[in-house]
Amino acid sequence: MRGLLFLLILILIFSTVNAKYQCKSLRGKSVDWFVVYKLPKLTGSTTGKEFVYIDSDSSDWTRGNDINDPNVAIGATISQMYSADKSNNFLFMYSDDDPIKPADSYRGHAKGVSLFDSTTGFWLIHSVPNFPPMKTYSYPNTAEKYGQSFFCSSMEVQHLAELAEHWKYIQATPYLINVPEKYAIRFPTLKNVEAKQSIPRSATQFWISKPIKTVQGVTLMAYAKHKKFDGDIWNDIISKENKVTLAVESWLNGSGDDIHTTCTSSSQTHDVTEMRVTGLNFASSKDHSKWAVSNTQTNPIVCFGDMNRQRSQLKRGGGALCIQNRNLWQIYHSSVIQVEPCKGSSRYSLNSFIQTAVFCLFVSVTV
For 95-108, the pLDDT digits (tens) are: 999 999 999 999 99
pLDDT above 90 covers a percentage of the chain that reads 86
CA distances 133 to 47, 81, 93, 101, 320, Å, are 22, 10, 9, 12, 23
Beta bridge partners of 123: 114, 153
Q: Tell me: pLDDT of 233 over 70.
A: yes
Q: Tell me: pLDDT of 74 over 60.
A: yes
pLDDT tens digit string along 301-327? 999 999 999 999 999 999 999 999 999
Res 343: pLDDT = 77
- pTM to 2 decimals? 0.90
- Residues 114-129, mean pLDDT to the nearest whole number: 98
Q: Tell me: pLDDT of 363 over 80.
A: no
pLDDT-derived band at 26, boundaries 50, 70, 90: very high
Active site amino acids: 288
Break the chain into its structural domains and give their ranges. 21-199+206-363
Instruction: Give the neighbor-by-neighbor strand order of the sheet with 174-178.
Output: 62-64, 51-55, 33-38, 148-156, 120-126, 111-116, 90-95, 174-178
